[in-house]
Structure 1
Amino acid sequence: MRFPKIAAAASVVLLAAACGGGADSDGGGDADSLTVWVMGTSQPPLVEYFEGAEARFQENNPDVDVNVEFIPWPDAQESITNALAGGDAPDVIEIGNDQVAGWASQGALLDITEQVGGWDASGDIDPNALEYGTYDGVQYGVPWFSGVRTLYYRADWLQELGHEPPATWDDLLTVAEDIREEYDVPGFAAPTDFTNGIASFIWSNGGEIATQNAEGEWEGNLTDPATVEAVEFYADLTNDGVSPQGYVGENELVPLADMANGQVGMYIDGGWALTAMEEQAEDPAVLEEIVAAPIPGADGIAPAFAGGSALSVFSTTQQPELAFELLTVLGDQEGGKGYADAAGFFPAYPDLLADDEYQKDPARVAAATQMQNTAFFPSTPRWTAADQDSKILPGAVLEIVNGGDPEEVLAAANEQLTTILNEPVE
């Protein structure tokens, strides 16, 4: 197995034809290697994982090597764009699960609907996550692993106050107020530039951001009473002083640093935040008191966006059948769980989450429980334009915090959302 060192994507488009991992350029002959693009950086547990995956793959394909290339996330878009233009390209590729529709619409991913339909393991994958790998009814990716956000809180403070972790909105308000009174710090952080957090409040109240009608048109749901109530509740966390003004206009990175230094009692973030807290904490002892729980919803656990990655077959591969076979080795229960464990995430197979290793490990049980309460954003390439480019939902919350009428603000946001989601895909 080869693990080339991957630098930033080249600034010029390579002119050589995509080689498809070592197959003859005319598409004939047998492959002697397949290339997998993995997003992120090489780490010893990941190298060990891919060595094992190659050994499994070579049980049926002894003469085919697996060439793994790590692409830093910031370089992913340029690398994939260059590959589409005729540069070096993979056979199998990791794609952010919220990016599948976008790259599928640009012709980067192969239609694997038939292959997935005949793959036994697909019946055990989270069906909602599997659906999120489609675009226009065509399957382009299968879930590889998932990660969710949870509620981080100061366990020592809650114990001293006689509270359990909040399970509902009412609990959240009570615990936050008691933290503020006892420790003179904000009880909860509600940054306004935080679509993932805001969405959990919406979903927990029975609301939606947008849905697709029978004709395939997207309809914004920001004016639905359940959505309005949830957005107003989130904004009022700031307006009522539960969350400080310092988080207005900010994302979750600001409260992360405060959490690491005892300056806030609770906030929402993913498991990856713990490493960042270690870098931010002035007193490492504080980190020992930071524990996670599922996100509190209106009446119970709130759904969280199931972030993560999908595995896809790149459209220019010259060995599509072999590439899909490699995908199944990486993405079946053994391969999917192996990578999730090595990378610090969770497998996309709900039944596995009931295992003791997830349910009895204090560091993982909250996220494992949260993984059984998930939701997804609109599966369209236009979601990026609506959220990351236009910041429709965070912008609406910001306006409300700044004094805007919730119903008027959300009506305007809903019109903008519906328009953007239905714009033609370029």
Structure 2
Amino acid sequence: MKMRYLAVPTAIVAATVLTACGLLPGSGGGTKTVTVWLMKGSASDGFLERFTESFEQEHDVDLDIRIQEWTGIVDKVNGVLDGKESADVIEVGNTQVAQYAESNGLSELTLEGLRDWGGKDWLTGLAEPGSINGAQYGAPWYAANRVVIYNKDLFRAAGVKDTPKTRREWLDTTEKLDEDGRQGIYLAGQNWYVLAGFIWDEGGELAVEGAGQWNGTLDTPQALKGMAFYKELQALGDGPKDADEETPPQAEVFAQGKVAQIIGTPGQVAQIEQANPGLRGKLGFFPVPGKTADKPGAVFTGGSDLIIPESTGDRRAAIEVITALLSEKWQTELAREMSYVPNKTTLAHVVEGDEGAATMAIGATQGRATPKSARWAEIEAKNPIKPYMTSVLLGADPKQAAKQASAVITKVLSSDR
């Protein structure tokens, strides 16, 4: 198919001016057009070309795929849900579905999910955020999650032959690595996504809903155990206690060659190797260890769901597009080309030849997502979790600090707009 690009205005101005683009219909000869909004970077041009050509040949439809920027996307999607803009299928972040569902502008996908899309095998971390009050509004498209990236040479130098399978082994291994000028692990003090996994492993939650009221729960015994483990692990390196993993970028620190481990997505390896070509072929992956060896640790699952606005002009054609994107053929192509985790546990085998993606797929079996509150984005904006973590790492009473952070979470999630 032929491609040309259209400028798509964003709702707010980014620090860097970015131009969105559209992938216009090819020569499929369809009699109707389905407009699909996908996010920049989610799929390659090659994938979109192949998918569009195949879909248009098999259906009496022209695809109008428009690539969107993440900056300003919430306002743009709300514009569609309000009827001010037009789109038939939209890619959204998996944790964004709840806020869009609050508008009552989403088409329910429960029947298709159970009947046609194999919903029983969907990754929990993708499917759960798209399910609101028992109804499915988001169809899982692809996932990514954190793993442990490690320096094989430093493991070898420390006499470590096997990667750890349990938390206890992980601490023992990391302590052994934290010698002779090495950092056992570089873990910034405010990496709250990693903390969330430790809390979930202990049976805790960031917040819970009951009787229509959301409450922060960082001060529960389970959540406090998760924070205690984070503190113990973080101490086995020199990560800053008052900054997150991007300040400075942990990939840059790891690239200096003196850090044995970081926790991040496999995609960071490309950044590391670009900064230090000498590390090519010397990096490996293993899942974040769990409390026991029989399953990996819980991890935050990021990724995207596909939604259909109630305002779509052709729901049936929109369903056909999602059905194709969720099919084994296109899930396999997307996962292999982009090093993603497919949307189903039963498709994990398709990335076995990609060490990073295969490791993510193992961790994804224990994947979770943030609380399904339409206000959770406000929590991430204010983020009382980060200063809470810093205060504990600097010696504050954990329970008192957690109680204060939980109160902020409760206030934000339960207040009227």
TM-score by length of 1: 0.84
8 Å contact 2:266–2:356 — kept in the other structure?
Answer: no
Name the CA distance, whole Å, in 2 between partners of 1:210 and 1:128.
16
Shift in CA distance, 115/173, structure 1 to aligned 2, threshold 3 Å = closer
Match of 2:96 in 1: 99
Indicate the SS of the match to 2:178: helix
Note the 1:5-404 alignment, pairs <5 A. Answer: 5-7=5-7, 9-10=9-10, 32-41=32-41, 46-58=44-56, 61-62=59-60, 64-84=61-81, 87-127=84-124, 129-163=126-160, 164-182=162-180, 184-213=181-210, 215-238=211-234, 241-244=235-238, 246-252=240-246, 254-279=249-274, 281=275, 283-300=276-293, 301-353=296-348, 355=349, 357-359=350-352, 361-386=354-379, 388-404=380-396
Name the CA distance, whole Å, in 2 between partners of 1:144 and 1:364.
15
Task: State the 1:66 CA deviation.
Answer: 0.8
Task: State the 1:305 CA deviation.
Answer: 1.2
8 Å contact 1:3–1:69 — kept in the other structure?
Answer: no
Task: State the 1:384 CA deviation.
Answer: 1.5
Task: State the 1:114 CA deviation.
Answer: 3.7
CA RMSD of aligned residues (A): 2.7
Name the CA distance, whole Å, in 2 between partners of 1:11 and 1:121.
35
8 Å contact 1:9–1:79 — kept in the other structure?
Answer: no
Task: State the 1:295 CA deviation.
Answer: 0.7
Q: What amino acid sits opposite 1:72 in the alignment? A: E
Name the CA distance, whole Å, in 2 between partners of 1:117 and 1:361.
30
Task: State the 1:2 CA deviation.
Answer: 6.1
Indicate the SS of the match to 1:176: helix
Name the CA distance, whole Å, in 2 between partners of 1:255 and 1:128.
25
Q: What amino acid sits opposite 1:105 in the alignment? A: E
Name the CA distance, whole Å, in 1 between partners of 2:42 and 2:177.
41
Task: State the 1:346 CA deviation.
Answer: 1.2
Q: What amino acid sits opposite 2:414 in the alignment? A: N
Shift in CA distance, 105/324, structure 1 to aligned 2, threshold 3 Å = same
Indicate the SS of the match to 1:132: helix
Shift in CA distance, 8/259, structure 1 to aligned 2, threshold 3 Å = farther
Shift in CA distance, 267/334, structure 1 to aligned 2, threshold 3 Å = same
CA displacement, residues 145-192 of structure 1 (integer Å, 9 cap, x when unaligned): 11110011111111232212232333233222322212x132112212
Match of 1:25 in 2: none
Shift in CA distance, 229/42, structure 1 to aligned 2, threshold 3 Å = closer
Shift in CA distance, 223/118, structure 1 to aligned 2, threshold 3 Å = same
Q: Return the match for 1:416 from 372, 397, 408.
A: 408
Task: State the 1:286 CA deviation.
Answer: 1.6
Task: State the 1:413 CA deviation.
Answer: 1.7
Task: State the 1:391 CA deviation.
Answer: 1.1
Indicate the SS of the match to 1:98: helix
8 Å contact 2:126–2:303 — kept in the other structure?
Answer: no
Indicate the SS of the match to 2:335: helix
Name the CA distance, whole Å, in 2 between partners of 1:306 and 1:33.
33
Name the CA distance, whole Å, in 2 between partners of 1:333 and 1:75.
32
Task: State the 1:203 CA deviation.
Answer: 1.8
Indicate the SS of the match to 2:264: strand
Shift in CA distance, 10/376, structure 1 to aligned 2, threshold 3 Å = closer
Indicate the SS of the match to 2:182: coil
8 Å contact 1:126–1:350 — kept in the other structure?
Answer: yes
Name the CA distance, whole Å, in 1 between partners of 2:145 and 2:401.
29
Task: State the 1:42 CA deviation.
Answer: 8.2
CA displacement, residues 280-319 of structure 1 (integer Å, 9 cap, x when unaligned): x2x3012421211101233342111111100111332211
Name the CA distance, whole Å, in 2 between partners of 1:7 and 1:259.
38
CA displacement, residues 74-125 of structure 1 (integer Å, 9 cap, x when unaligned): 2423432444565543211110101111122235532333443442533432
Identity over the aligned pairs, expressed in percent? 24
Shift in CA distance, 403/229, structure 1 to aligned 2, threshold 3 Å = same
Name the CA distance, whole Å, in 2 between partners of 1:85 and 1:155.
52
Q: What amino acid sits opposite 1:37 in the alignment? A: W
8 Å contact 1:149–1:304 — kept in the other structure?
Answer: yes
